[in-house]
Amino acid sequence: MIMEEIVFKSDDLVIMNLINYFITEQNYNPMIIRGINDEIWLENLSNDYKIIRIVSHHIHNKEQFDFDKFKLGRIVKQVKKKTLSFKVKVLNIYTDIENKSLLTENDIAIMTESDIKSSKLPSIFPNIIEKTDRKENSLEFFIKVTDSINKKNEKRSKEAAKIFSYKKPVITYALIAICVIVFVMMYLFGNGSEDSMTLINFGANFDLLTKNGQYYRLFTCMFLHIGIVHLLCNMYSLYVIGKEVENVFGKFKYIVIYIASGICGSILSLAFAHNTISAGASGAIFGLMGALVYFGYYYRTYLGAAIKSAVIPVILINLLIGFMNPAIDNAAHIGGLIAGILTAMMIGIPNKSTKVEKINGAVLTFLYVCFIVYMAFFK
């Protein structure tokens, strides 16, 4: 039997080494760019360089280099739209360029593995020299790289499955049930959901009472609704939005977001309501939408289109309707929306948020609560 030796070209090994490093050590993900040949695009939206682009085709003159930059600009515009990013910093790594003087600030030429050490890559990624130091022969290295990338992708798949897989929205069902039961009780033990005294007796937010010590109304009003249409609209919204937020954040974090948003919405409502009864879950629901937008920003490669085409327009349309209709408590909506975003920032996004981001979220949430309490009770 004749064994034929497998031979890898030098630039193949360079590319494999770089890909392995960026995927396994820097958490970059491969991007699929249609119509692009001899290029590898990697994205990590949490990194300063959101995109690493490895160009393997030969760049032999200035005209070809300029065309490459023109093509890059067009694709980056598409990436910005898809990822809801205002700025996308790209690091271009050329593995076969004839004239290195053409390179600009965000361009690097890596022709051989030894070029990694002498390039500016170590100043950007301090551990790259250590992690790309290859001791295996070409075939062993190819097997090692393939195995490590497969393990990384398997880990990511499990993490994504854990977050996005369907879980029964028990808390959402429970919240809907509570609101419906309270609604029925207002008719059984009072004069109905549109009667002022019944609403007050059941815990509606009424500035004259809430500001004079009955602070529990900031919470209880979240479960009251004025009329069947109000109830049905809010419960449908809660069912649609709530189950998604519960699914991606988990039950405990979902409860925290819901209650915090509802209470903050109730507090801000007091700042603008005078001798007015207010009730409803809409402040909390707007908070859930805010949390979903914040989650979608971190997972915008998956949810960017849905957030941009569905969630954000729904928020804007509902706020616009609120401004046009004086009977709608838009202050509660805005208060809940902001609280939902800040609370989501404070409790963190699974597998994404850093400790620093959570601390910043906690500080901003505290300052926000102080501000709306001042607006409602002291101004």
Confidence check: pLDDT of 339 > 90: yes
Q: Are strands 29-31 and 277-278 parallel, antiparallel or unpaired?
A: unpaired
Distance of alpha carbon 26 from the chain centroid = 19
Catalytic residue among 261, 269, 282, 353: 282
Q: What is the pTM of this model?
A: 0.77
Mean pLDDT, residues 353-359: 88
- Check if 46 is active-site: no
HSE (side-chain half, CA atoms, 13 Å) at 118: 7
Does the pLDDT at position 44 exceed 70? Answer: yes
Report whether pLDDT(5) > 90: no
Report the share of the chain in percent with pLDDT over 70.
93
Rounded Cα distance between 14 and 114, Å, is 9
Percent of the chain at pLDDT > 90 equals 46
Residue 230 known to be catalytic: no
Work out the angle between the directed axes of helices 170-188 and 228-237 (0-180°, nearest 10). 170
pLDDT tens sequence across 179-231:
999 999 999 999 999 999 999 999 999 999 999 999 999 999 999 999 999 99
Q: What is the pLDDT of residue 112?
A: 85
- Distance between CA 169 and CA 80 in Å, rounded? 33
| Residue 36 confidence (pLDDT) | 67
The whole-number average pLDDT for the span 137-149 is: 79
Burial category of 305 from C-beta neighbours within 10 Å (exposed 0-12, middle 13-18, buried 19 and up): middle
Task: Report the distance separating Cα 271 and Cα 205, nearest Å.
Answer: 12
| The pLDDT of residue 303 | 65
Encode 249-275 in three state secondary structure: HCHHHHHHHHHHHHHHHHHHHHHHCCC
| Block residue for tokens 């993490």 | 159
* Residue 2 three-state SS: coil
State the chain's mean pLDDT as an integer. 86
Distance of CA 341 to the CA centre of its chain: 10
What tens digit of pLDDT does each residue of 302-313 get?
665 666 666 777
Binning pLDDT at 50, 70 and 90, where does residue 158 land? Answer: confident
The answer, yes or no, to whether residue 341 has pLDDT greater than 80, is: yes
In this prediction, residue 111 has a pLDDT band, given cuts at 50, 70 and 90, of confident
* Mean predicted confidence (pLDDT) in 130-139: 82
Beta-bridged to residue 39, according to DSSP, are 55
- What angle in degrees, to the nearest 10, is found between the helix axes of 330-347 and 282-298? 40
Token pair for residue 149? 């990338």
pLDDT, residue 34, reads 66
Answer yes or no: are the C-beta atoms of 51 and 91 closer than 8 Å.
Answer: yes
Q: Where are the alpha helices (DSSP H) in the chain?
A: 10-24, 62-83, 115-118, 121-124, 128-131, 138-164, 170-188, 196-201, 207-210, 217-220, 228-237, 243-249, 251-272, 282-298, 300-306, 312-324, 330-347, 355-373
Assigned CATH class of 170-378: mainly alpha
Q: Residue 275: pLDDT band by 50, 70, 90 thresholds?
A: confident
Predicted confidence (pLDDT) at residue 128 exceeds the cutoff of 50: yes
User: pLDDT higher for 86 or 266?
Assistant: 266
The domain ranges of the chain are 10-164, 170-378
Options 193, 225, 266, 333, the catalytic residue? 333
